[in-house]
Amino acid sequence: MVDLDILRRDLSEMAGGPVTITGTASLGAQRQTLFVDVPVDGAIVAAVAQISTSVLQAVPTTLEAQILGLAAAAGVPVPRVLAVTDELPRLKRPAMIVTRVAGETVPRRILRQLTDANAGHHLASACGRALAAIHHIATDQLPLDLPAPSPDDFLATQTAILDALPHPRPAVRYAIAWLQDHQPPMPESVLVHGDFRNGNLVVNGGELAAVLDWELTHRSHPMEDVAWFCLRTWRFGNDQAEAGGFGLRDSLVDAYEEAGGTFDLAGFTWWSIARSVWWANGLASQGAAFSQGLTDSIVLAASGRRVPELEFDLLTLITSA
């Protein structure tokens, strides 16, 4: 965790006025999130500051802020960016301050809010509409430097990560071989969120209030987002509710298609397996970083224990494909 006094001074310079840190929201594998009060046009605004815990970012934070602006213009519920920098003056880390959106973000609390199946399906439908809006943002509006890895690039990267792990993961290697042999036709890539899931949503009274955490945004097949949202790992024990643990996949897909999206089952299946590979490799890499003494993060240390869950999911998905 960074020194809060230094961080407050950095955030104040970035925001152009005195920022008050009012609480710590979370400390994740990639970002520290703080509740802050920020002066905006003579008023004090409740906001959230996100500070990268690493100098490595999937996309630069300023580019992420651009995408948030495009998403807002497309009708996607997102926080408003108040200030952003790719390097704080003292801490030398990327940071962004956005408006604070009222609601719940903790997945299990969200699931407890949804007291009946209709509420869950309603929220799943809202997620389908949000995904369709994201995927319909015109590609000529997107920053030229937005990452756009091809499926072949994706598989090459995952193979390299797997090769670098200290312990063999035969189920993951088998899944990569399956993906290489079963790649379906891929349409023109669109903007994808990259991490659209229960845990990166703000839900207020059963309504989708905001889509958060766009640091993995890139161009890809739209089914990458839909598949990631539906993975078992993001259902938090409610395995029967494929859409985020709260709704049926049909509710998600019907709303997605009504809003102009095109659901592709072959692409959905391929990306369900591909992103399970991605997450298994990511968790294994985080656990290895701790066991090799490269980090003392307890969050990363705990990641490694979940790899067998993803290996089970991979074999299940391949068997049913």
CATH code 3.30.200.20 region(s) in the chain = 4-99
| Domain 107-320 classification at class level | alpha beta
Range 66-70, long-range pairs (CB < 8 A, 24+ positions): 66/143, 67/142, 67/143, 67/146, 67/191, 67/214, 67/217, 68/98, 68/214, 70/137, 70/141, 70/142, 70/191
CATH code 3.90.1200.10 region(s) in the chain = 107-320
CA 192 – CA 58 distance, rounded (Å): 13
Instruction: Convert the pLDDT of each residue in 269-306 to its tens digit.
Output: 999 999 999 999 999 999 998 888 888 878 888 888 99
pLDDT of 28 above 70:
no
pLDDT value for 290: 87
Instruction: Convert the pLDDT of each residue in 34-48 to its tens digit.
Output: 999 999 998 999 999
The one-letter code for the residue type at 279 is W
pLDDT value for 1: 57
* CATH number for region 4-99: 3.30.200.20
Instruction: Convert the pLDDT of each residue in 37-85 to its tens digit.
Output: 999 998 999 999 999 876 456 789 999 999 999 999 999 999 999 999 9
CA 217 – CA 225 distance, rounded (Å): 10
